[in-house]
Amino acid sequence: MALDIKQFINFAGMAKDLKSFNFSVYGRWFGYINIILCIALGVANLFHVNAVIAFGIISIIQGLVILFIEIPFLLKICPLSENFIEFIKRFETNGYRCLFYLGMAIIQYCSIILMATSLIVVAIGLTISSMSYAVAFANHQEFQNTNIIKNPADADFPHEAVVREMV
């Protein structure tokens, strides 16, 4: 019996998150998308013969920092310096995340000065995340985590996967 990736996704939790109208959840979802955009488009812009290469490298670094901000579990399992961990822990509220994403978006918008590239998409994605966190901050919404992937302790988690986890 083969396992499907759809068995691990918590569709009920995602629907609940969409109906909650909590913009911190939307900001987090766009943060996940920004991880992919920053890394993929950062690598894609490394092949220009222009100073845009620097912004491509910055985009890759931004994607990795967002990875640690949006998935705090990684701070516990990756060997990181205490300074970096303290830096990441500063962004645990909607207001600070809004400012963080806005600052990173401004950096990527500056890449347009050199050359219009696909880094514009990264800047727009970061701006959307910033706006989502800004709305959550303005509406005094609590910072909320999202559960896109099912918890292995849930009853509907695939049993074969639990056995594999144990082995």
Q: Where are the beta strands (DSSP E) in 34-162?
A: none
Residue 143 CA to chain centroid, in angstroms? 15
pLDDT tens sequence across 57-86: 999 999 999 999 988 888 888 888 999 999
Residues with Cβ within 8 Å of 95's Cβ and at least 6 positions away in sequence, in order, are 133, 137
pLDDT tens sequence across 107-166: 999 999 998 899 999 999 999 999 999 999 999 887 666 665 555 555 555 555 554 555
Residue 9 backbone dihedrals phi, psi, to 5 degrees: -90, 135
> Has this prediction a pTM greater than 0.85?
no
Question: Where along the chain do its domains lie?
Answer: 22-143
Residue 38 CA to chain centroid, in angstroms? 10
Structure tokens at 160: 């074969």
Among 25, 13, 5, 34, which residue's Cα sits nearest to residue 148?
13
Residue 148 CA to chain centroid, in angstroms? 13
